[in-house]
Structure 1
Amino acid sequence: MSERWKGIITNCASLRNLALVCGFFFALSGTASADSCGTDATAGWDVENPPAEDRQAIQDLLSRYAWTIDERNAPAFTGLFAEPRSSYYKICSSGNSILKLTLGMGPESATDLLGQMTIILKKMETDSLQTRHLVTNTLFDVVDDKTVNTKSIVLVTLQDSHSPAPVLDYSADARASFVKGDDGRWRFRSLTVYADYVAGSIAAKKR
């Protein structure tokens, strides 16, 4: 962990909303910390590609996931998800849920996707942290004509205002389920990021 990141952890320790502002969900009670990812992401994959137009639309959606976080645009990120109180964004480590945010829970909820991503991304802006999400090696599996699952590799770099070059923040196995709406647009039903680090050994990633 970089000295810069250790400093962020120290500075955030005194904040009342530690888990939400800094992305640490180890000590958080309630839904966000109690939810478990179960086992690690299952190895192997049965490839079944959707039609070319749908495949491109889903790849574009994965790219928009990367861009909306990197541009710190919480409303645009939230707009990528489909079903209020059902669709969610989750980050896992070693089978434990670090973070689970659900669409449409309301502004008073500690697990609301829009509200909490707004806090998280604003904190990154305040601390002059720039991420770059790279989504690669995507494989598809068609469930039906309106549901497709994918798995991808995600690499995230992080740069602060004091460093001449970005550093690797973390890598992950990202699993997504997409649903095609009545308007013909694909959106996330769920996005679960299985980060490649052990909980407790490094700062929990929040994006």
Structure 2
Amino acid sequence: MNNLDNTSARMKILDTLSRYAWGYDEADSRLLMSVFCEDATTAGKIANSGNGWGPFNGRDAIVETLLSMRSGQHDVRRHTFHTFRFEQIDQKNIEAFFYASIFVTKDAKTRIATTGKYHALMQNENDGQWRIFSLDVELDASF
């Protein structure tokens, strides 16, 4: 892959991950459906606790679960993703590693709820969109 294609792919991947964050934070099923492959999987855990969630398999089940989780959170959530690292990039597949800081606002007070690391396997599907095939999350603390 040449540098121009590589940069373009990275920007599209960052856009997909941003749509995931916006989709979750705003409980937007359309955005969430747009970021996962049909046969995607996801799971997560809270470091050093034995607590976690998933695995959930299939886009519909993942989106339903994420929206259910979000509906139980009665505050404003803001996922911010940063410190990206991409590996094994080719025309159709990429492995992305990145950190998250998750902010919560309630009663006009904002705090960091938790931080964590994400690992995503992403695929460039036939329509040219990069989507999440597998997403594993490890949060540093309970939120």
TM class by smaller structure: 0.7 to 0.9
Instruction: Say whether residues 1:144 and 2:99 are aligned partners.
Output: no
Partner of 1:47: none
Aligned to 2:12: 57
> Contact 2:83 / 2:98 at 8 angstroms: preserved in 1?
yes
CA distance in 1, matches of 2:23, 2:6: 26
- Please report how far the alpha carbon of residue 186 of structure 1 lies from its aligned counterpart in structure 2 after TM superposition: 0.5
Residue 53 of structure 2: aligned partner: 99
The reply on whether 1:78 has 2:27 as its aligned counterpart is no
Q: Corresponding residue for 1:169?
A: 113
Which residues of structure 2 form unaligned runs of 5+? none
Identify unmatched segments of 5+ residues in structure 1: 1-49, 106-111
- Structure richer in strand, relative to its length: 2
Q: RMSD over aligned Cα, in angstroms?
A: 2.2
Residue in 2 aligned with 1:189? Answer: 133
Match of 1:179 in 2: 123
Quick one: which of 114, 117, 127 aligns to 2:66?
Answer: 117
Deviations 1:89-146 (A, max 9, x none): 22112375611222246xxxxxx2132223222233xx3x110111001011124320
Alpha-carbon distance in structure 1 between the residues aligned to 2:66 and 2:136: 15
Work out which of the two has the higher radius of gyration on C-alpha atoms and give 1 or 2: 1
Task: Return the TM-score normalized by structure 2.
Answer: 0.85
Determine helix, strand or coil for the equivalent of 2:37. Answer: coil
Q: Residues 61 and 97 of structure 1: is their aligned pair in 2 closer, same or farther, counting only changes over 3 Å?
A: farther
